[in-house]
A and B are shown apart, each in its own frame.
Chain A
Amino acid sequence: VSERGTVSLMPTCLVDLVRPEAGVAAVRVLRRAGFRVTFPGGQTCCGQPAWNSGFPDEARRVASTTLEALAGSEGPIVVLSGSCAATMLHAWPELFEGDTRAAGVLERVVEFGALLAPLASAAPALGARRQVAFHCSCHQRRGLRDATSGATLVNSLPGVELVEQADAEACCGFGGTFAIKFADVSTSMGRDKVNAVHAAGASELVSGDVGCLMHLGGVAAETAVPLTTTTLPELLEREGWAP
């Protein structure tokens, strides 16, 4: 069954290496939604770590490998990160100026939540629901101009309740290599986010971006705030989401 056609999965390096469960969940959710899922071989990374660190030549070299892998792929390219999707859409045109492969890839790039949110329908709430908070990454919010698709999907789940956190639009402090170069500032920002989520009554934090979750999970554990971190595909799979 693939009545919605074929998609090409771009798990991103972080999901591939650090949170492969999110990639597996994404495949299952996409299939349940009626997509045929392919995984174009030879992908590595979109180049963002080097690009944001001021090493564009190194970023281009790595990204060109991923571009090559995606160039021959089929259907929408479903990216499991708002941040990587934003990097592709904003940095790649500059990195691959004049490269005819880039436009054909970039017009097919779509973040996982943004692909599925239009298919979501509001579900009637079940009795006792688990309270979760959603963290929309800054690159999803401001890079992709999409502050709603994640929340739309969570709201369509009968088994969970999306709680409103204070200062939701504030950066969590991850920021890639910023998290290491200025770790104290980064974790101070992270504590604000974790505390806001905790104060809102959520014991589970969901996000479409694994980078933010790695950082926030570490901060929560350090400060003994009871908070589990779940990627959006994992949540949708667990809650049995279907269009």
Chain B
Amino acid sequence: VSIVYGGDDALEDRIDKALADTRLATTLGASRRHLLGFRAAVEERHPDWAERVDRARAIRTDAVARAPELIARFETAVTSRGGSVIHAATADDAVGAVLEIARRRGVKVIAKGKSMVAEEIELNPALEAAGLTPVETDLGEWIAQLAGERPSHILAPVIHRSRGQIAEVLATHRGGPMSDDPQGLVTYSREQLRSVFLEAGMGITGANFMVAESGTVVVLENEGNGRLVSSLPRVHVVLAGLERVLETTADAAFMVEQLTLAAVGRELPSYVSWISGPAAEGDDGPEEFVVIVLDNGRSRVRESDEREILNCIRCGSCLTVCPVYSKVGGHAYGSVYGGPIGAVLTPLLRDMQPGEGRKLPFLSSLCGACSDACPVGIPLHDMLVRDRTLANRAGLAGRGERAAWAAWSRAWSSPRLYRASARAGARSGPFARAFGPGASWLEGRATLPLPSTKPFHRRWADLEKGQ
């Protein structure tokens, strides 16, 4: 399990770099306000929004609780129509399964639709190492691939790049000048990608949902590339996290709308594909249809008290709306999954292993905007707090920090020692300003409030007399 791609102590460095990029915060701030604007419109169109969130939460909670049973039903239905399901316990297993299919079918070029699971298992580097040519066909993902970058947002992979910076990437690809006119950029990309769809021996997509009762994979997109990727190549491989299952078509129909409302403020995206197996005999379409269901830590999370995080439907709202994400962008998190969902999910998938992932829950002011924005009602800011506890218990908090909190709790659980600490604090000026938390506080703040020489509890006696 990698999931994080940053070096071990580079989180603070990546944050510094992001904060120095003032254009990033301007772009992300505008995107944040845009989301708040369309969410207000959605709640006006759907005055029952709170009930919708409750319903979505109930659907997802039930599906995650019964995931093994629902996946088994999904598999039965897929198999009955000539498709197959592969259960991948780890990222390596999933990559190995894709490579095996590619080898068996003699595939060279692979057309890819958008898939966060593919990012999670680091599929592209593995395919390239095996001599294959994976090409991203989602416009944003394609630009990220050409730039040699990770997507910085679940939904909008290159939101960190300006139009001009996107034009630069395409100019390099073209080997000639490129105007930053959006229409021109799209036209060029479309021309380039068209041949990939025709040439590819395999198409890979993600899955927004898997429907257990019908064995259907549901793919949402706005560009049409997902439909081409899933219908033109002879083999269609789907990558899905095991939590992405729903029981019924009715549940899926509701969740498609809920996801799209949250993500872009509309009831439906441009394309919703319901894919239930390989092409029937005599029909056009893939001869082979394989769904790779990835675990990679999910079962362990599902069996823990933190299972609700698996309810996530990857709408990206919590990233967009997060004031911290809006400042630092997705790359600062150094995880495939950034923002509040990433800060909660990343260390859980990694079982709180040492490394940067478990610092991420602390990268939040706990303002709760994420929880309010979540269309399936995940209490993200509460989960961030619980993750902090789990991270500390797994060893993130060093001896010094643990000792400091222990000393604090000893002192402040005694009113007498609390009052003594107030007197000591009032005399701590120069020391408090020069060292530790006080010094950090004064980075960017000119004043450090210290305990008063006459705290409220020493003023009360006089106040009481005036009653």
Knowing A171-B365, A178-B362, the reply to whether A188 touches B440 (Cβ < 8 A) is no
Which residues of chain B are near A222, meaning CB under 8 Å? Answer: 444-446
Residue A108 CB within 8 A of the other chain: no
Nearest A residue (CB) for B447: A218
A127 / chain B contacts, CB cutoff of 8 Å = none
The answer, among A41, A64, A174, for a CB contact under 8 Å with B415, is: A41
In the complex, B130 has a CB within 8 A of chain A: no
Q: How far is the CB of B372 from chain A (nearest CB, A)?
A: 6
Tell me the residues in window 83-129 of chain A with beta carbons closer than 8 Å to chain B beta carbons: 90
**B residues engaging A (CB < 8 A)?**
15-16, 19, 25, 29, 33, 36, 323-324, 327-328, 361-369, 371-372, 382, 385, 387-392, 397, 402, 405-406, 408-410, 412-415, 418, 422, 425, 437, 440-452, 454-457, 459-460, 463-464, 467
A199 within 8 A of B: no
Inter-chain contacts of A188 with B (CB < 8 A): 19, 25, 327, 444
For the residues of A in contact with B, the DSSP-based class is helix
Cβ of A176 within 8 Å of any chain B Cβ, yes or no, is: yes
Residue of B nearest to A210 (CB): B449
Report Cα–Cα, A183/B442, bound state, in Å.
9
Q: Decide: B16 and A54 in contact? CB cutoff 8 A.
A: no
Within 8 Å by CB of B392, from A13, A19, A54, A176, lies A54
- Residues of A at the B interface (CB closer than 8 Å) are 11, 13, 15-20, 23-24, 27, 31, 36-37, 39, 41-45, 49-59, 61-62, 64-65, 69, 90, 138-139, 142-143, 167, 169-171, 173-190, 192, 214-215, 217-219, 221-222
12 CB-based A-B contacts, threshold 8 Å: A20-B452, A31-B467, A45-B412, A50-B405, A65-B414, A174-B365, A182-B324, A182-B362, A183-B443, A188-B444, A189-B324, A217-B449
Task: Tell me the smallest distance from the CB of B41 to a CB of chain A, in Å.
Answer: 16
Chain A residues near B447 (CB-CB < 8 A): 217-218, 221
CA distance A217 to B467 in the complex (A): 33
- Do A185 and B324 contact each other (CB < 8 Å), given the known contacts A143-B368, A218-B441? yes
With beta carbons under 8 angstroms apart, the residue of A11, A58, A178 that contacts B456 is: A11
A residues in contact with B390, CB < 8 Å? 54
Cross-chain contact of B366 among A62, A178, A184 (Cβ < 8 A)? A178
A185, B368: Cβ atoms closer than 8 Å: no
| A18, B452: Cβ atoms closer than 8 Å | yes
Contact residue among B388, B402, B406, B445 (Cβ-Cβ distance under 8 Å from A218): B445
Would B16 and A184 count as touching, CB distance under 8 A?
A: yes
Q: Do residues A20 and B413 form an inter-chain contact, with CB atoms below 8 A? A: no
With both beta carbons as reference points, the residue of chain B lying nearest to A90 in the complex is identified as B382
A58 to B390, CA, bound (A): 14
Kindly list chain B residues whose C-beta atoms are within 8 Å of the C-beta of A58.
405-406, 408-409
Contacts of A139 in B (CB 8 A): 368
Pick from A143, A173, A184: contact of B443, CB below 8 A.
A184
